[in-house]
Structure 1
Amino acid sequence: MVIVCPQPIRQFALFGLGWLSFITAQAQMPNEHLEHSSSLGLRFVSLPGTPALMATYETRVSDWQAFLAASGYQWSYKPHFEQGANHPVVGISLEDAQAFCNWLTEKERQEGKLNSSQGYRLPTKSDWDAAIGLLRMRKLDLTVEQKVADERTFPWGMDWPPPAGSANLAEGEIPGYSDGYPFTAPVGQFKATEEGLYDLSGNVWEWCWDPEVRAEQTGVLRGGSWAYFRPECLRSSYLYVVPTDMRMPTVGFRCVYEDKQRTAAMLASAEKVKAEIRAQRREEMLGGEVNKADIAAMREKLAASSGSTETNSASLKPAQAAETFTNALGMEFVPLPDTQLLFGNTEVRLQDFETWLKAARRTWNKPAFLLSESHPAVGVSWDDATAFCQWLTEQDRAKQLIPASASYRLPTDLEWSLAAGLKEETGADPAERDRNATPHFPWSAEGTFPPPISSTNLDATRIEGYQDNHSYTAPVSSEEANALGIRGLSGNASEWCQDPWPGSPEERVIRGGSWLSREKEALYTGHRQRAPHDSSNNATGFRVVLELPAP
């Protein structure tokens, strides 16, 4: 019999309360350490921040062979290297991994090992965040420093290169690092996490799946593999977006176990906490005797459970000329030489843009491909980007993070050139400067093309001699920074500038390449695009500058 994958098991992420509600609930409940064992001998352990229990090992060759023998599932992939029964299975597509989870669920229900509320599935991105130890899944609120650490940390800590034997990685490509395995390693050969999970870093990439995402042509891999060596790909927060039907010798999976009755209990506990917060607020509004410290703590919990990305402005240093600055959204700015500007060191992230959307009660046509909070916001019009800047100015003035005469705005055409290292251009306006563009690239003033491998995010499949690790947009921190500390000027998302296009007042200037860029001349630093100010597309985003008053 050939198994046809049914609809994925519905997950509690669809219930509308959000993952941070579970963290709120767990803060009120004693810590639980639960375990579960499958009929294949896979052990599952509980995680902070999620009701799911995760398999301590990646799914092994022996587990996969048992599935094939029992189900008749059609699969014939064979890697170019030898594997033992205790190695992680590779050459697995997203559909293959889902089929295994569904088979194991039905098998154990028929055997009486599971009831109808229990089953196996792939981890969600939030499950993986909790497993890898990201602070956002384990704390109610984060400082700016902790948010930055979440984006930059590796599963073994902040060190690069990794300490010897940290994981099964591409040891020949990482100077000074060795692990002893040229291809996959038997599962469990490296140090486990505090919860007892092995190989969350290296060995094989592992599929994650969030069923509320409708763009089923792409999926997310986490964790790196035996063939990966670039630090940005091995960070704990990294999302590798790939086609769902991809089968590679570096890709496998692991399962999670969920008991929906436990999930429902945690949801009820989260609702109880939120009800207590609402009651406290009502009492405050009615003039009751409420401890102010308790009220403040409850407000912080409410903000955390609603998914707010803002941080406590009291811990932030106000903006000053010629100094790096981090604002209340965690956006970072660096000085732009010979100006009064602080220049956004990345494109505006999805988490920043969605904070404004929520505050402004506005909607947005979000791109169909997978985006995480740390990806650039694309599909944004010039009008929306400008409105975001105005809102951000008001917010940070009110928090006294910027002077009353300072303001956020889009960079001008010439400011963007200066940030990208193009100091001398000929032409009186953007159109003329575009016509006079020379072979200068954000990664090479000497005109070297293509760029260094994986240094930026372009349409790599159509650029001979170049490759990167992204099918669509990438996290804003994944591109290499230039000498000023600015990332993403050469690719990922093209960016709106403040200037109107000469002779066409309805159009605005756009600078920089994107994940769709491939032609050499279109990637010149001096190349300009233009589009109507109220238009949007999935390759265009924006970045922000902070203009400070003259001394």
Structure 2
Amino acid sequence: MGNPARCRAACSEKTMSTTLNWRGYTWVRAAAAWGLLLPPLMCSSCATRCGADPGTTGSAIPAASNPSQDGSATVDASAERASDGCPDGMARVEGGKLRARRKVPWVIKTMCVDRTEVTVQSYAACVVQGVCQKPDSRESGGGGACNWGVLGRELHPVNCIDKNSAETYCQQRGARLPNFNEWRWVADGGDTANSYPWGNAPPSDHACWSGVAKRSGTCPVGAFPKGDSAQGIHDLSGNVDEWTTTEFFVTPGDFLLLGGSWSDQDPNALKTIAAEHDTPDGRYETYGFRCIKVMSPPAPRPSESSEGCPENMLVVEGGKLRARGNVPVDIRTMCVDRFEVTVESYADCVKKGACQEPKTGGACNWGVSGRAWHPINCVGLDSAQAYCADKNARLPAADEWEWVAGGRNAATLYPWGNYPPSLEVWWSGRVERSSTGEVGFFVDGDSPQGISDLSGNVSEWTSTPSSEGSGSFVVRGGSWESKLPDQLRNGTTDHQARESRHHAIGFRCVKDL
């Protein structure tokens, strides 16, 4: 889609009007669903790149022999700080609960976060090792504000870099890109209502941006300490927009970039809720990144509520299910996973030796970078049961699943009510999908208890056989491949052989109380 917020000057009045008419309702719904601040006019026919000549260029890549001053100083970042357990150049950010319009808040894990955006010098060390690819430069046809190969830009953020290259860099450090919720938690300093990382004061001299003085390129990292977060993390607003792993559900294949950049003149573009989106191969002068490293979680602890459910499970009261007019089925009170089991959670089970690796390839999520918060898919029934057993839980029966999705007496057609899906779920009825999405981003599709993705994303295994001795089992909920609203209804049933490892099937666990 180009870089719409930067390229309005290249759009004709007709193009801008057409784009607004086409996407007007979508932007309103998207902003409401995620609390995002998105440009009101999006230009998909950007013909020019923004940015002017930043300085003198050199033919060689920047030297990588001297340690950088940024948050990812060396390619080998294994040295631990005794004080906070984070590698040198990273800051510890304590986890907590992020509400963000949810009935039940997100649980954010404690993590180590790069103190600065990754610099040219640090990225160069990865290139020298043969792990990372060179970003765009002026010589290679990149924009005039690309930093690669420009003398004196060693401690500027590496820019003109695509999402895949950013992920490769983070992975070789044992880290990864943040998702939307993690980035926002870091920038907001927790579950706060601040507009900017430093508070609510307008940017002024808090960031590298063009609102006070027009800039032709990036600034050295950490040059605006007044804009630091409470943890001392630099440039979360301005300098470069930062890649995340979160796909923008309105435009399949586009990913969110957060934080604003040096070219922004509107203070709203630097707010922590402001977002851009682009395809993963986008390489603009305003794009950069930083890495995070999620810290090993402590031993499981009970929920802070009195309900007795483990963290990230919610209580669902029992009752009698009369969904199909048959003899009522008694449903016990239980704890239910808020989210479909993620790749990250399943990987922990594999590392312990309690779970088998899923199938790979195609639309399977296992082994695909940036999918840590996607639901695990391509797993058979036995693997799903093994995971739940390792958590002292189990798969739900088909009747239990329907009870959870429909509320008491399965009174609604969908988890959110009786009206057909639109932007409430990750499905292909409105926008064609090619894979799963990150769990839990569709607030309007949550059940009354706050349980996410009961419709769409992946269909979910149950423990109920399709029939006596058939070898197949009931799956519920519809998936990212679903195109018809009826496929997402609470009572819709599908069947799969227990050994099936389909890319549209995952699972969640329940625990008896």
TM superposition score category, shorter chain reference: 0.5 to 0.7
Identity rate, percent? 20
Superposed counterparts of 1:467-478, under 5 Å: 472-478=435-441
- The letter for the 2-side match of 1:539 is A
Superposed counterparts of 1:9-408, under 5 Å: 22=77, 25-27=80-82, 46-48=89-91, 54-55=116-117, 71-74=138-141, 101=148, 103-104=149-150, 122=166, 124-125=169-170, 153-159=185-191, 161-163=193-195, 165-166=196-197, 191-193=227-229, 198-201=234-237, 205-207=241-243, 222-223=257-258, 225=260, 243-246=279-282, 252-253=287-288, 309=296, 311-313=298-300, 316-317=301-302, 323-326=307-310, 330-338=311-319, 339-360=332-353, 362-366=356-360, 367=364, 369-393=368-392, 408=393
TM-score, normalised via structure 1 length: 0.49
Superposed counterparts of 1:511-530, under 5 Å: 511-530=476-495
Q: Distance in 2 between matches of 1:31 and 1:133?
A: 16
Q: Give the aligned CA root-mean-square deviation in angstroms.
A: 5.7
Contact 2:397 2:463 in 1 (8 A): yes
Contact 1:494 1:541 in 2 (8 A): yes
- The letter for the 2-side match of 1:535 is S
Q: Which runs of 5+ in 1 are unaligned?
A: 10-18, 34-45, 60-66, 77-84, 90-96, 109-120, 135-148, 169-175, 210-216, 257-304, 394-407, 427-437, 464-469
- The letter for the 2-side match of 1:360 is G
Question: Residue 418 of structure 1 aligns with which residue?
Answer: 403
Contact 2:374 2:439 in 1 (8 A): yes
Question: Residue 31 of structure 2 aligns with which residue?
Answer: none
Residues 263-310 of structure 1 show CA distances to partners (whole Å, capped at 9, x for unaligned) of xxxxxxxxxxxxxxxxxxxxxxxxxxxxxxxxxxxxxxxxxx9x9955
- Give the superposition deviation at 1:385: 0.5
Q: Distance in 2 between matches of 1:474 and 1:461?
A: 15
- Give the superposition deviation at 1:490: 1.9
Contact 2:466 2:472 in 1 (8 A): yes
Contact 1:378 1:537 in 2 (8 A): yes
Q: Distance in 2 between matches of 1:324 and 1:540?
A: 29
After superposition, the Cα gap between the structure-2 partners of 1:30 and 1:499, relative to the gap in structure 1 and judged at 3 Å, is closer
After superposition, the Cα gap between the structure-2 partners of 1:381 and 1:167, relative to the gap in structure 1 and judged at 3 Å, is farther
Question: Residue 428 of structure 2 aligns with which residue?
Answer: 459
Q: Which runs of 5+ in 2 are unaligned?
A: 1-57, 65-73, 93-111, 122-133, 155-164, 246-251, 320-331
Residues 408-466 of structure 1 show CA distances to partners (whole Å, capped at 9, x for unaligned) of 2111112112211255579xxxxxxxxxxx9x2222x2324424xxx432337637xxx
Question: Residue 282 of structure 1 aligns with which residue?
Answer: none
SS in 1 for 2:336: strand
SS in 1 for 2:457: coil
- Give the superposition deviation at 1:386: 0.9
- Give the superposition deviation at 1:474: 3.4
After superposition, the Cα gap between the structure-2 partners of 1:379 and 1:57, relative to the gap in structure 1 and judged at 3 Å, is same
After superposition, the Cα gap between the structure-2 partners of 1:540 and 1:54, relative to the gap in structure 1 and judged at 3 Å, is same
Contact 2:422 2:430 in 1 (8 A): no
Contact 1:167 1:199 in 2 (8 A): no
Residues 349-374 of structure 1 show CA distances to partners (whole Å, capped at 9, x for unaligned) of 22321222122263333435434433
Residues 213-269 of structure 1 show CA distances to partners (whole Å, capped at 9, x for unaligned) of xxxx9796553558999xxx959xx9x9964234789x622589xxxxxxxxxxxxx
SS in 1 for 2:471: strand
Contact 1:379 1:536 in 2 (8 A): yes
Question: Residue 419 of structure 2 aligns with which residue?
Answer: 447
- Give the superposition deviation at 1:545: 0.5
Larger Rg: 1
Bigger helix fraction? 1
Question: Residue 12 of structure 1 aligns with which residue?
Answer: none
Q: Distance in 2 between matches of 1:485 and 1:255?
A: 31
